[in-house]
Amino acid sequence: MSAAVSVPGAPVALSTASVYPENCAAAFATARRLGYDGVEVMVWTDPVSQEPGAVKALSELHGIPVLSVHAPTLLLTQRVWSTDPWTKVDKSIELAQEVGAGTVVLHPPFRWQRDYAREFFDGVALREHESGIKLAVENMFPWRARNREYQAYLPGWDPVPLPYDNVTLDLSHTATAGSDALQMAEELGARLAHVHLADGTGTARDEHLVPGRGAQPCADFLEGLAAGQFSGAIVVEVGTRKLTEEQREIDLSEALAFARLHLATAPSLKSS
C-alpha cells in the first residue's frame, strides 16, 4: 500500500505585483480567497504598500502573513520613498521588520548607480548582519535592443558568481537571459533563499507568464526544490495586467495549483 505523499513546508506566496493594476489590498484579498500561504509586498506607487501600519492591518484582516518585501529598486520605482538607493533598502528592511517578513528582495544596482554599486556587496552584508533580515539579490538579464545587448546592471545581472549570501531566483528572468535555471539553482546551493515563480519563452521581453506556459523547466525546478527540502518562499510573480478580474483569478489559481502539484511530486517525496 502506498503511503501518503509528504509535501515540503516551503510556502507558496502571491506577489502583490501579480494583481497589478489592482492594489495591495486586492492582493491580500485574492491571496486569502485562492488559498495562498502568504504575500510578497512589492513596494510601489500604491501608498498602502509603502506604509507598514497599513500592510500589517491588511495582513491581520485577511489572516495572510507577509513573507517578503520587494524593495522599490526597479526602473519604474526610482522615485518611491527616495531617489537614494540605500534609503530604499533601509526603509524596505524597516517595513519587513514591522510586518514580520524575513526577506527583502533587491535588484542589483543599475549601471549608472556607480557609487551604490561600488558599496553594494559590503552594504548588503552589513545590513543583513545588523537587521537579521535576508537581503536576497535577484537574478536579472541583459537588455536587448536593435540586435544589440546592453549590460544594464553592476556588478552584474547574474548573481551566481557574486558574493551574496542570499539570492532570489526568478524564472522569467532566466528565460529572458537565456540562463539555465536548474544549473543556477544547483550552483547557488544553500544561497538560494527565495524564488519568483513564473515562466517565459526566451524573448527579449520579461514576460512573467503563468508557470507551464513558457519554455522554462518550472516543473523540474519545483520538484528539485522539494527534493532538496527547500524552506524559503516560492512567490508567484506573473503578469495579469491585461486580464479581466475573472481571467486573473483563473491564472493565479492555475499558478498556485501548478506549484503545489510539483512540490508534492518530487521523486524523493513519492512513497512506494
Q: What is the pLDDT of residue 131?
A: 98
Position 5 in a domain? no
Position 3 in a domain? no
Position 191 in a domain? yes
Position 272 in a domain? no
Q: What is the pLDDT of residue 272?
A: 41
Position 270 in a domain? no
What residues have CB less than 8 Å from 242, skipping those under 6 apart?
none
Position 162 in a domain? yes
Report the number of distinct structural domains present in the chain. Answer: 1
Q: Largest alpha-carbon pair distance within the chain?
A: 62
Chain centroid, CA 106 distance in Å: 9
Q: What is the pLDDT of residue 265?
A: 77
pTM of the model: 0.94
Position 271 in a domain? no
Q: What is the pLDDT of residue 146?
A: 76
Residues of the chain with pLDDT under 70: 1-8, 266-272
Domain that holds residue 234: 12-265
Q: What is the pLDDT of residue 268?
A: 55
Cβ neighbourhood burial of 78 (10 Å; 0-12, 13-18, 19+): middle
Q: What is the pLDDT of residue 162?
A: 98
CATH number at residue 93: 3.20.20.150
What is the distance between the terminal CA atoms of the chain, rounded to a whole angstrom?
8
Long-range CB contacts for residues 112-116, cutoff 8 Å, separation at least 24: 113/85, 113/154, 114/154, 116/85, 116/86
pLDDT per residue over 160-211, tens digit each? Answer: 999 999 999 999 999 999 999 999 999 999 999 999 999 999 998 899 999 9
